[in-house]
Amino acid sequence: MVADWQPVRRTRTFEDVIAQIERRIAEDGLKAGDRLPAERSLAEQLGVSRSSVREAMRVLETLGVVSSQVGRGPDAGAVLTSRPDTALTDLLRLHLGLASLELREVIDTRLMIERWAAARAASAGSDTSGLATALAGMDAATSAEEFVEHDTAFHCALADASGNRLIAAIMRSLRDSMRRYAVEAVTRLGDTSVLRADHERILAAVRAGDPDEAANAVAEHLAHAYPSLS
Amino acid sequence: MVADWQPVRRTRTFEDVIAQIERRIAEDGLKAGDRLPAERSLAEQLGVSRSSVREAMRVLETLGVVSSQVGRGPDAGAVLTSRPDTALTDLLRLHLGLASLELREVIDTRLMIERWAAARAASAGSDTSGLATALAGMDAATSAEEFVEHDTAFHCALADASGNRLIAAIMRSLRDSMRRYAVEAVTRLGDTSVLRADHERILAAVRAGDPDEAANAVAEHLAHAYPSLS
DNA sequence: ACCACAGTATGGTCAGACCATATCGAAGCC
DNA sequence: GGCTTCGATATGGTCTGACCATACTGTGGT
């Protein structure tokens, strides 16, 4: 038996461009804030058309790795950034819309993450000022949308307090992509006093440095918010 | 004090195109497998240039929502797909390269996910044939790379067995993006018999339907594989 | 029934132009 | 000297139109 034939790898030009940029990032140790050459210049140096460079830029921008500004000066052009959140958010939102992911799966994931983050935040003795601020915002909220806004801030602050940026980014994306459903859930619930008590309990547990209690508080909180999925 | 001025929202053409496609997906209930109009046709219908349509396509392709084939026929053109994995993988790999995420954070995330998935798989009594197959592959492996290949398959099968596609997609991406480090870890370890015993223990726990034991087995396994990060 | 080949629709790439924007810099003014 | 003004310039954003490679489709011949 001879070796299997490998299908010819169709490499599109813009993929080569991405690969070269990625290589440069790794080799030259480029980091967020550093500038990339201008599109025209990059196209010339790589011997490709500007369109291909632009498509590569679109991909990198979508992945939250570069950000482009028009105009002239030190801030203009393509700059390396670090926004995994927005990329993740877009990704989840689109796939929720495509029904390739179900709400149930997203909420389960959120529960997993949040339990972990709460426990981690509690045992790390993290700063809880962000949590308190968000709590106050929820009290002042006059609509479901506004409530959800601060609720999101609370839970993202919790994820931030865990000290893991990947977890925090995933959390932020999950919340953003399911904002619509959160508003529905709050509206359906009507009374938010239960949720308020939950939040206080979570905050207290984190402050007390009790990981297990923090995780349980979070779990019960989500059960209250989404009773139909429990 | 007058109301704050809002910065003019610069909407790029391709963003409009994406928004319209996204709206169509939601309103027309398009799903994976459905075809989008050809680039030229879409450009004409939307009154924009083909370049803008192409940039929109690049973004959607990057997010794992569409896939383009050249040529002619039923399979040609832009087809809606559902590949959150590849998008996530690219995202994580690039951000690891950019050092906007640390390996430690990725491994912590992996531990969290894998504990959850193992427990879930155990309590759901999922099919374990994929796990067994991967285990056999690891035994037959003759190099660190090959071992890691089947190890990855094992852990992804575990995530699949949890029944949550989002979790599985995140797992797959985490593994893919840190493949390099996994090979290093195995090479450094030398002897893989400890890992083999861990895998057997995980498999046994899942088969026995013991969620706690499964989660603990996974946690100890990762501690063995990455002792420096424990 | 089969096969060969021209036709055609598709994405991939390129070149070149023009626009909007934002900075830079020199000229002019006080 | 310090200020404003305005043109020069570099940047991304968009469009047009062309050409190529690919892969199916249909036709005509065998």
Confidence of residue B8 (pLDDT cuts 50, 70, 90): low
Cβ atoms of A71 and A153 within 8 Å: the answer is no
Q: What's the confidence (pLDDT) of residue B10?
A: 77
**Which of the nucleotides in strand D have any atom less than 7 Å away from a protein CB atom?**
8-18, 21-25
Interchain CB distance below 8 Å, B109 and A170: yes
Q: What's the confidence (pLDDT) of residue A24?
A: 93
Q: What's the confidence (pLDDT) of residue B127?
A: 87
The 10 Å Cβ neighbour count of residue B129 is 10
- The pair of three-digit structure tokens given for residue B150, joined into one six-digit string: 């089947």
DSSP category for residue A144: H
CA of B7 to C1' of D18 (A): 39
Interchain CB distance below 8 Å, B65 and A167: no
**Which of the nucleotides in strand C have any atom less than 7 Å away from a protein CB atom?**
7-17, 20-24
The 10 Å Cβ neighbour count of residue A64 is 23
Confidence of residue A181 (pLDDT cuts 50, 70, 90): confident
* A87 interfacial to chain B (CB closer than 8 Å): yes
Alpha-carbon distance of A127 to A124, in angstroms, equals: 9
Contacts of B119 in chain A (CB under 8 A): none
Q: What is the value of pTM for the model shown? A: 0.87
| Cβ of residue A29 lies below 7 Å from strand C | no
Taking all residues of chain A, what is their mean pLDDT, rounded to a whole number?
A: 90
**Nearest CB partner across the interface for A100, out of B32, B95, B116:** B32
- The pair of three-digit structure tokens given for residue A164, joined into one six-digit string: 């893991």
The 10 Å Cβ neighbour count of residue A11 is 9
| Res. A122: pLDDT tops 70 | yes
Tracing tokens 């790795």 back to the chain, one arrives at A65
| Cβ of residue A41 lies below 7 Å from strand C | no
Better-scored residue on pLDDT, B102 or B17? B17
Better-scored residue on pLDDT, A227 or B53? B53
pLDDT per residue as tens digits for the range B53-80: 999 999 999 999 999 999 988 888 999 9
What is the three-state SS of chain B?
CCCCCCCCCCCCHHHHHHHHHHHHHHHCCCCCCCECCCHHHHHHHHCCCHHHHHHHHHHHHHCCCEEEECCCCCCCEEEECCCHHHHHHHHHHHHHHCCCCCHHHHHHHHHHHHHHHHHHHHHHCCCCHHHHHHHHHHHHCCCHHHHHHHHHHHHHHHHHHCCCHHHHHHHHHHHHHCHHHHHHHHHHHCCCHHHHHHHHHHHHHHHHCCHHHHHHHHHHHHHHHCHHHC
pLDDT per residue as tens digits for the range A5-61: 555 557 999 999 999 999 999 899 898 999 999 999 999 999 999 999 999 999 999
Q: What is the average per-residue pLDDT within A166-182? A: 90
Q: How many degrees, rounded to 5, is the angle at CA A157 between CA A155 and CA A162?
A: 100
Alpha-carbon distance of A228 to A5, in angstroms, equals: 52
- The pair of three-digit structure tokens given for residue B44, joined into one six-digit string: 């004409």
Interface of A with B in 171-230 (CB under 8 A): none
* A63 interfacial to chain B (CB closer than 8 Å): yes
pLDDT per residue as tens digits for the range B69-115: 999 888 889 999 999 889 999 999 898 888 888 888 988 999 999 99
Give the minimum alpha-carbon distance from A54 to chain B in angstroms, rounded to a whole number.
8
Alpha-carbon distance of B71 to B15, in angstroms, equals: 26
CA of A51 to C1' of C6 (A): 32
Q: What's the confidence (pLDDT) of residue B122?
A: 94
| Res. A184: pLDDT tops 70 | yes
| Cβ of residue A52 lies below 7 Å from strand C | yes
How big is chain B, counted in residues? 230
Contacts of A98 in chain B (CB under 8 A): 25, 30-32, 65, 80, 82
Nearest C-alpha neighbor of A62 from the set B15, B23, B71: B15
| Cβ of residue A76 lies below 7 Å from strand D | yes
Q: What's the confidence (pLDDT) of residue B2?
A: 47
Alpha-carbon distance of B114 to B119, in angstroms, equals: 8
Interchain CB distance below 8 Å, A25 and B108: no
Alpha-carbon distance of B168 to B25, in angstroms, equals: 24
| Res. A76: pLDDT tops 70 | yes
Comparing alpha-carbon positions, the chain B residue that sits nearest to A103 is B166
Nearest C-alpha neighbor of A115 from the set B175, B116, B162, B124: B116
| Res. A4: pLDDT tops 60 | no
Q: What is the average per-residue pLDDT within A199-208? A: 95
Alpha-carbon distance of B138 to B147, in angstroms, equals: 5
Interchain CB distance below 8 Å, A98 and B65: yes
| Cβ of residue B38 lies below 7 Å from strand C | yes
| Contacting residues for A174 by C-beta, under 8 A, at least 6 apart | A92, A106, A109, A110, A113
pLDDT per residue as tens digits for the range A90-121: 998 898 888 888 888 988 999 999 999 999 99
CA of B47 to C1' of D12 (A): 21
Angle formed by the axes of helices A39-46 and A50-62, to 10°? Answer: 120
| Cβ of residue A49 lies below 7 Å from strand D | no
Interchain CB distance below 8 Å, A101 and B88: no
